[in-house]
Amino acid sequence: MKVSSFALQLLLTGTLLASSVAAEEDDNSNATTTFELPAKETDLRIATFNTALSDHVGRVEYKLEEWLVDDDAGEHPEVALVAEVIQRTGCPDILSLNEFDHVWTNNTHWDKERTYAEVDAFQTKYLSVPRAEDVESCVYPYVYVAPCNTGVQSGLDMNKDGTIGTADDAFAYGNFPGAFSMVFLSMYPIIEDEIRTFQYFLWKDMDGPYLPVYPLNDEENAGEPYYNTTELEIIRLAAKSFWDIPLNVSGTGSGNEDDSEILHVLMSHPRP
Share of the chain above pLDDT 70, in %: 81
Mean per-residue pLDDT, 20-43: 43
Residues 24 and 99 in one domain: no
Digit-coded pLDDT (tens) for 159-180 = 999 999 999 999 999 989 999 9
- Is 117:69 a contact under the CB 8 Å cutoff? yes
Digit-coded pLDDT (tens) for 10-27 = 333 333 233 333 333 344
Q: How confident is the model at residue 258 (pLDDT cuts 50, 70, 90)?
A: low
Mean per-residue pLDDT, 54-81: 84
- Is 145:120 a contact under the CB 8 Å cutoff? no
Instruction: Report if pTM > 0.85.
Output: no
Task: Give the pLDDT score at 15.
Answer: 31
Helical (H) or strand (E) element with 96: strand 94-98
Residues 150 and 24 in one domain: no
Spatial distance between the Cα atoms of 102 and 24, rounded to a whole number of angstroms? 46
Residue 59 resides in a domain:
yes
Residues 80 and 124 in one domain: yes
More confident site: 41 or 110: 110
Q: How confident is the model at residue 272 (pLDDT cuts 50, 70, 90)?
A: low
Residues 74 and 169 in one domain: yes
**Number of separate domains in the chain:** 2
Domain that holds residue 23: 1-44
Q: What is the DSSP letter of 213?
A: B
More confident site: 41 or 92: 92
Residues 67 and 177 in one domain: yes
∠ CA 266-269-272, nearest 5°, is: 145
∠ CA 116-49-166, nearest 5°, is: 70
Spatial distance between the Cα atoms of 14 and 6, rounded to a whole number of angstroms? 12
Residues 40 and 118 in one domain: no
